[in-house]
């Protein structure tokens, strides 16, 4: 049976920006994040991205540009021997009140339906409160990384210190998951 790891994108795999990642040139991997994906793949985990991309609804970039950003991410990951199986994204803003925007569980549930799996043994690694909530709302296992917004998320939610797996970065989380 195939094993899956779900990852948020911005702040987990690549550097985040309050001004949004609007072009392939702005997409910059966090140190060792692509190697982490490769490491997970080597241990028979398929990696799936679950990402809010409200920049689409805000008109900051179009779907063609988002696809180009994701193509760069896939190519850079492949250079270190990694592979991203699928990418799920929400194109809406929070004011749209959709079911797919994290912290809602819609994207995770769609992934589970598409691959016919139960999320109860699937880890979702994120850097923000909405990632943790989306994992919990979907019945997946949340992991918080301190990259991106992770340190701030932890400071604002000290209860996570005793209730969540927390790692410095994606690579440390991956090393834990394969051990």
Number of structural domains the chain divides into: 1
**Mean pLDDT per 10-residue run, the chain (179 residues)?**
94 96 98 98 98 96 98 98 98 95 98 97 98 98 98 96 96 97
Which residues carry out catalysis? 8, 10
Structural domain harbouring 153:
3-178
> Is the pTM for the entire model greater than 0.95?
yes
Instruction: Give the tokens for residue 126.
Output: 């994120």
CATH of the domain at 57: 3.40.50.1000
Instruction: Give the tokens for residue 144.
Output: 């918080």
The residues with which 142 forms a beta bridge, in sequence order, are: 124
């Amino acid at each position: 049976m195939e094993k899956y790891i779900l990852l948020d994108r911005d702040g987990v795999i690549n550097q985040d920006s309050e001004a949004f990642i609007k072009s392939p040139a702005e997409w910059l991997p966090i140190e060792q994040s692509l190697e982490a994906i490769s490491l997970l793949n080597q241990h028979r985990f398929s990696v799936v991205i679950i990402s809010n991309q409200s920049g689409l609804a805000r008109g900051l970039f179009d779907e063609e540009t988002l696809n180009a950003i994701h193509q760069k991410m896939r190519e850079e990951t492949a250079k270190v021997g990694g592979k991203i199986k699928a990418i799920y994204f929400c194109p809406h803003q929070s004011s749209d009140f959709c079911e797919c925007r994290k912290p809602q569980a819609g994207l995770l549930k769609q992934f589970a339906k598409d691959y016919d799996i139960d999320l109860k043994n699937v880890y979702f690694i994120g850097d923000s409160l909405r990632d943790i909530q989306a994992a919990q709302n979907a019945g997946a296992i949340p992991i918080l990384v301190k990259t991106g917004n992770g340190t701030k998320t932890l400071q604002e939610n000290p209860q996570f210190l005793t209730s969540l797996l927390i790692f410095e970065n994606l690579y440390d989380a991956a090393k834990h998951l394969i051990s």
